A and B are shown apart, each in its own frame.
Chain A
């Protein structure tokens, strides 16, 4: 188990434009990355031969520093490599001391792993963020409406826009939620929407995380760390603040309490201190000033949820749960689960406690549902989608299947229910034999697969062993839905630290960066 569960699945590929870079541009590109000596020869040769086949967040194709990076690039240019290296070590030591780590229990050395933190920020100009924010608002609103709809009237299924079979036959569809009313009709109170920027600089939604998206604590800790390591940078830049996220979260959770009251008792439910994301659970509970509970701390009495305290039982109104649906209630779901609370579901269905996120949100972030999100936006909101979906071919459709089979060498093919990058074909990186084998598997059961074009993820300068070099990144903003939609500017930027790698997951050598939305 790792903190960021969802696997990044956009594969490397040739960029649309492959302009060669003149020599004078090389200089600009190098200065963009600050320290000449920090470049490995490998990096230099890369730049000498051609423009990188991806969008570089700091340097334009013309070799010029992008306007929003100019101040930073200048600062970086004047900052010796040793200082950066020292700051990175300092960050490691501080993260270790405060235990912002993955638990690796039973490890002989007693070591706990750090998620690598990169000291170079990812910068987004305000106008660009505002466009993204509007798009996120729209998308999450549509997803919540969709969830309400499929557990009630099912208008979108009746209209034939989404095949009923895809929804009702989905393992993540929870029959127990049919007809259950939740406060404000909100299901995904906390949504983590993974965005990537492709070759021409345009953003795509890679996936929506509507179950228990994680990583927000790293977003905040990264900011605190940057302010501690490089206070001078925050004097030079007007960076939108984001440390108030826990306040927004608490506000949001209170607005969806069963009987909306400002003094609703909110708790965070964790699987326990051995869970890899435990730091985040403890962090959020502490920052909100609420109890961090485990299943064993809660019990059902008289159709309400109570927690065991030193002063006797105390009623709980809202549970921000970081436990998966399957483990929430052994009476309703997995009977062997000790992480949940027996009887929780019946209290929930009676409307006496709010779960955030609701049970059964997984059906809306499934790969087979993803292609329909633009349709949902049209259908429920009557608007044009503002964020791009990655074009997706559904191989159960004959046309899509025929196209895919002809273009396997260019496409990424994924299993509908696959996760973690397994059962997947990355056309441009695959051998002829692999493609042939996959072709047979697709033909046998086309409905099990989807296909997407191969995107080149954008890259951001990153401090690595060999110096400063571009590494691929994504962005996970966190969208909060209660009586209204709230979020902080930015999100968590994950970075694939291995050269050329597009896998940003922390389990596979991924790290994180501070994300700056520049206010002017």
Chain B
């Protein structure tokens, strides 16, 4: 497969996954607004959200104040914001368009239709209810994207690069969401238990893990178990352990003579999660742990680019990486500041 083709497929999958995780995060936030809270708490929630996805600084520069519906719009539909859901879906479509011949026509049409319908949400500012419907729509379209890819694509390189992009992105996104929420919640537990319950359950909801938690633990929600579920549980499809196992497996499928060290690093990371214990993770501090994890996935992505995607030469791939690095850099800066 052409390196450039693999690159487009890899990034198409990353942007779709990023759009979905953003929608999940924003959806839960919007629900949180329905809980009794002080304006400061609401403000804090949105600041943390912007922080999670590395857009606090650019938002501050553009908008100044933090008004809930303004932030939501900025993150959901602002086409000037390269990190918005709108931009992610647009970039996913641009990458797909560049390799439309490699995708099954059903997969291409799924992405293209998503992009065409996306413009319907552009007309006016959406109210809380409409935003919730929009997030739901984004999630469904992303589910459809994955479903169609699984049901129609050959199990060949195109498929492996797609899955590789998807799970690398998901690993990163889960780690970020967990990092910001967890440090905030665990550091300042709320005085009333009901409030705390909703905060933790919101985190679980945003990762489709609330029901799973109940099923796995049959017990109260505790920070350590939330961390265990989202970091180490190998059967939980959004956990770091699951995502890295997928990454390592797909790297085996596409192995080439250059990729030995990349495979080794991915395997090492996956094993450390597969056989890790939450006590050890929490001992060194979850934040420090997650920061290192995000660094490792970034390093993996860079190695994958060098081994398979960008042997030489500029192009959209360079733009993809640049944009990703921009987001990484801002986020890294913010995470260190925390």
Contact = CB atoms under 8 A, between A and B. Distances in A.
Contacts of A109: 119
Interface in A286-304: 286, 291-294, 296-297
Contact of A309 (B2, B98, B257): B2
B97 A297 contact: no
Interface string A291-325: 11110110000000001111110000000000000
A91 B115 CA distance: 19
B314 A296 contact: yes
Contacts of B78: none
Interface stretch (A1-9, A92-100, A152-160): A92-100
A292 B1 CA distance: 10
B100 A99 contact: yes
B198 to A, nearest CB: 38
A188 to B, nearest CB: 25
B101 A310 contact: no
Interface of B: 1-6, 90, 94, 97-102, 105, 108-109, 112-113, 115-116, 119, 157, 161, 254, 256-257, 308-309, 311-315
Contact of B1 (A272, A273, A296, A309): A309
B6 to A, nearest CB: 5
Contact of A110 (B2, B100, B115, B309): B115
Interface residues of A, number: 25
A285 interface: yes
Contacts of B102: 286, 292
A291 B2 contact: yes
A contact face: mostly helix, strand, loop, or mixed: mixed
Given A282-B100, A296-B313, A312 B116 contact: no
27 contacts: A96-B116, A97-B109, A98-B109, A99-B108, A99-B109, A273-B94, A273-B98, A282-B100, A282-B101, A292-B99, A292-B102, A293-B2, A293-B4, A294-B315, A297-B2, A297-B3, A297-B313, A307-B2, A308-B4, A308-B311, A308-B312, A309-B1, A309-B2, A310-B1, A310-B254, A310-B308, A311-B1
Contacts of A273: 94, 97-98
Interface in A270-286: 272-273, 278, 282-283, 285-286
Given A291-B2, A296-B313, A312 B256 contact: yes
A309 B3 contact: yes
Contacts of B309: 310
Q: Which of B90, B94, B116 has the most CB of A within 10 A?
A: B116
A294 B1 CA distance: 13
Given A278-B97, A310-B256, 8 more contacts: A110-B119, A283-B101, A286-B101, A291-B5, A296-B314, A297-B4, A297-B313, A308-B3
